[in-house]
Structure 1
Amino acid sequence: MSVTGSTLSRRALGRELRRLRTAKGMTQAEAARAGETSPQSIGRIEEGQSTRVTKMMVNALCDAFDATNAERRTLLGLVSEVRAAREHGGGWWRAYADADLPSGFDHYLALEEAASRLTAWKVTVVPGLLQTPEYRRALAWSEIPELSPEVIEGRIELAARRQTRLEDPELSVDVLLSEAAVRDRVGGPGVTADQLRHIVAASERPNVSVRVVPFSAPRHLGALVGSFILLDFAELPQSKLTEPSIVYVEEYAGDLYLEREEEVDRYRNALREIDRVALDHHMSRDLILAVAKEYGE
């Protein structure tokens, strides 16, 4: 099991325990007494945060919540999944701690690594999974000019490591790009031209799709909702539970993780509207290459 499975299994464990506690009508403080822990620990567990959870504690909570045998087996299986992932070690991105990652971005990296499908709508910037080193370097300099060359190179190495996920046939990547993102000259025309040719090359992978929403497209929701990424997940290996999808919204002042069903559904509906006005794969490829030729001359 992938180490990042701990992110999903922790979320699933917390969700199931919260459901049982709520159905029993118990408070977190009452659950804490039953599990011989603190209310703060119960809160962290229910939120899927990294904290120590033992089978003894979960068994005590199951007794207090009157869990069925099937529910108990599911919860204990999730504890085993969390433990197996923890023993495997931390996420690979821990090696890039010196790259001065934005606060909380390691959480996104864990979700990205665990996702089975990633759908992105980008208004102005090419998504990280498709960025060339030169494009990433230019973005980093413009975002935080005072960053040291060492930190920037660390970020570039991190981006390259992330992109190895594109080699995983079990991951599907669908990217919808605004024409503005295609035409934005990041790092100058030469860097932009190389970036665009790289996008076309990546889109030739069987599990990667890139389509463009042209300036001429009818008015659509994409102009209103802004850039976001929808992450879907496969079922967990032991418990067979499937974690709910998450919408990741990257903001300049901080990131948002949306997972309530009604929130995710709104963004999924927006993607359908954006998809409706996007060019097909061949027309998108032609547009991207035309802009690359224009900038590469």
Structure 2
Amino acid sequence: MLPRRALGRQLRKMRLREGISQSGAARVAEISPQSYGRLEDGLKTKITDLAMNALCNAFSSTDEERLLVLDLAQTIRKSAGYDGAWWLSKSAVPGDFRDFIALEETATQIFSWETCIVPGLLQTREYRRALLWAEYPEMPTPEVEASLDVVMRRQELLSKTDLHFEGLIAESVLTTVVGGAAVLADQLSHLLEASRRPNVALRVVGRNAKDQVGVVTGPFVLFDLPPLPISRLRQAPVVYVEGCFGRIYLDHESKVAEYARIRERLRRAAYSEEVSAELVLEALKE
């Protein structure tokens, strides 16, 4: 989904620069105007290198632009099947959450800000179980267990040396009892253990922090992605926000930049990793 939108934006930018209509571009690519419109809108349609090269020729593309277009086209074709990705065979993974797992699997850095609960990649099985029961009290036990298996499988990412996970949480998360005192205590112990990993940073934003931008913004996840495989051009970061109207993925430059600024403000407001660990330990003792 996201590479398709990036390709559509790039093609639209080059086409408008040359003053070519969508109908004219469709003739160049030898596809219908409707299919070309879907292409620029980032919707699913067939993408071939022959058509992309023809469009790049018509749009007087630079070498760098052509590399970017062909690289995105290859990424789209590759991601169409996710190369046998494990989560495709899991019925417990909703269709609209597969993009999130794909981003997790691809990212080089994941920044997560949470105001109410522990980030998913740091949750214990029982903590997650309590959250599922709170959200879906009628969910059958087999479905609960299947969903928990997915969460545990996702957490294997933290063993990757080329991934850095940075989790910032509001101080109230440490004292919000989810699943009972024993479940919370186990969860806090797990946070301490996970924070000792060299590629995991856990920090707490205090109740009395001068900058409470995170309360206003709400939870979000920011994914930094690796360069494209062929051109090595930088991929734009992606922001994930979940709300009452569903899951939203933001990859527009200005919107992502605003969340990146919020990330920096949160980092400045947060306690150090050492002080944060002390707060977790204090909450555990209580």
Contact 1:217 1:277 in 2 (8 A): yes
Contact 1:78 1:238 in 2 (8 A): no
Shift of 1:74: 4.2
Q: Tell me what 2:54 maps to.
A: 60
Q: Tell me what 2:31 maps to.
A: 37
Deviations 1:61-105 (A, max 9, x none): 223223345543443344344444557634321111x2152x511
Shift of 1:226: 0.8
Task: Tell me how far apart the structure 2 counterparts of residues 216 and 73 of structure 1 sit (CA, whole Å).
Answer: 49
SS in 2 for 1:173: strand
Shift of 1:26: 2.5
Deviations 1:199-225 (A, max 9, x none): 111111111100011223224211111
Aligned residues between the structures = 286
Q: Tell me what 2:100 maps to.
A: 108
What is the identity, as a one-letter code, of the residue corresponding to 1:174? E
Contact 2:8 2:41 in 1 (8 A): yes
183, 200, 217: which one aligns with 1:208: 200
255, 268, 286: which one aligns with 2:278: 286
240, 252, 258: which one aligns with 1:266: 258
Structure 2 unmatched runs, 5+:
none
Task: Tell me how far apart the structure 2 counterparts of residues 84 and 256 of structure 1 sit (CA, whole Å).
Answer: 23
Task: Tell me how far apart the structure 2 counterparts of residues 203 and 75 of structure 1 sit (CA, whole Å).
Answer: 40
Q: Tell me what 2:189 maps to.
A: 197
Q: Tell me what 1:13 maps to.
A: 7
What is the identity, as a one-letter code, of the residue corresponding to 1:22? L
Q: Tell me what 1:220 maps to.
A: 212
What is the identity, as a one-letter code, of the residue corresponding to 2:60? D
Aligned CA distance change for structure 1 residues 88 and 215 (closer, same or farther; 3 Å): closer
Structure 1 unmatched runs, 5+:
1-6
Deviations 1:19-54 (A, max 9, x none): 222212223333223212234433443344443211
Contact 2:4 2:72 in 1 (8 A): yes
Task: Tell me how far apart the structure 1 counterparts of residues 50 and 13 of structure 2 sit (CA, whole Å).
Answer: 19
What is the identity, as a one-letter code, of the residue corresponding to 1:93? W
Aligned CA distance change for structure 1 residues 115 and 20 (closer, same or farther; 3 Å): same
TM-score computed with the length of structure 1 as normaliser: 0.87
TM-score computed with the length of structure 2 as normaliser: 0.90
Aligned CA distance change for structure 1 residues 148 and 270 (closer, same or farther; 3 Å): same
SS in 1 for 2:204: strand
Task: Tell me how far apart the structure 1 counterparts of residues 261 and 64 of structure 2 sit (CA, whole Å).
Answer: 35
Task: Tell me how far apart the structure 1 counterparts of residues 61 and 197 of structure 2 sit (CA, whole Å).
Answer: 46
